[in-house]
Structure 1
């Protein structure tokens, strides 16, 4: 049931009007309900996809047509990927249920052993949380990288879908997977990550002077707004700001066109140094890995330093 619902949400979002705030809010509520009330456990990866999609749809509902097509495109891709994960999980579960059961192992007869001196038992292994567990903002970052490469003509949409499937069974970052499947070169990924880092920078984009005049070439505006949504969610995720403070900043952004970092600072929610520290920490986790990376010292592909 959850698969068909997710697929319907993806199709509805695809055909929705970005400027229809009521419809976008309704879609956001449906996604939130799906994450909390459904007929079976969601796969952890599809849960992350839905959470990331919900973040973007919430941003779309608040910003309307200002958010651009990229926000909606990425959210639709995430919903469809969540449905694919659920299908794969259901198939794996069905295959496991239909597998023949093994015959019970006959009991072993007790044997006499020499008495051993008591000794300290090793401590029981404590279950550990998954190391380097991906978050919804990590998913958003991967999708932003894919969209940058797609807009630059380095990859195709099917490459993003293929890379996402590979990623589900590995701990590789999406950029590494693009290179491994031959979708693009390592240099192209590094360049896109540099662009992504520039989108997320805060200090250089603070509107301390007069508002900038609209530029004739507006390419990348939607991607910048995806980066804006990422910044807000990262700050909430790392407890730098509250959800309510982010909502107030988004209202300021919608009314004045200010960057999200500028709005948060002017509202007194945080400082620019706190914002950059959180983004720098998150940026270090998103550096392009693998041997032979063209990234040179002092020019981290996604490092927040300048």
Structure 2
């Protein structure tokens, strides 16, 4: 029987322990004089319908078969980006924490293995406020886990989740996302800093408005001299259909039409500027580059 979004969201906490990951994949590349690293927060288990429902099935199935992707179940990696330039240690998103899926929420262990303590993180920058990106904000005492960090989020994204009407308008299947986001944003209300698309939020880091997946989703271009990478969050959510058919609507996006336009434009920018990318749900640690091919685009992991 197909799994609905409502069933998926309501069952997240109850996933079996057998779904947990035991390792922590790390991918790394230099960007100018800095280092961009991804650290695993584990992985998610999603029904294929969560992504594939709006897509033309007769065209979709051959693509999935050629890519070796199941139409029924997806298990995307969750890769949190960390950028260190000798002055700042910047974490982009904070993972799921313990309350979303048992296969995720591994970031604290991954950071420890990488030799990064919570107090080492100078800035936490959010791409958006979906559970797998922001629910790891709080520790077991409901205090911010990265207690010495400056927290930063796009103004439009904050306004959307802070709005008390969002929980009523987002749809029943996503209402838990709105409640969870608001609770965590309340914990940083007095200290958070806001930014807009096109703004340089820190030296060498520019916010890029990439709406659609959520209303205020942001990506980030990290640049060191002529060397640059794009941290894409969920603007490009997978390495298969999103690359082969970026114009197709995806069920994982809150505004699917806007997200498709954003994806297409983002691919154009990445290829034209020859940017490295770091994707939250891309395989092999999520770091790599993009190639054009006969199917549209292809993700090439850094460690391939």
TM-score, with normalisation over the residues of structure 1? 0.29
**Structure with the higher strand share, 1 or 2:** 2
- TM-score, normalisation: structure 2: 0.29
Structure possessing the higher radius of gyration over alpha carbons: 1
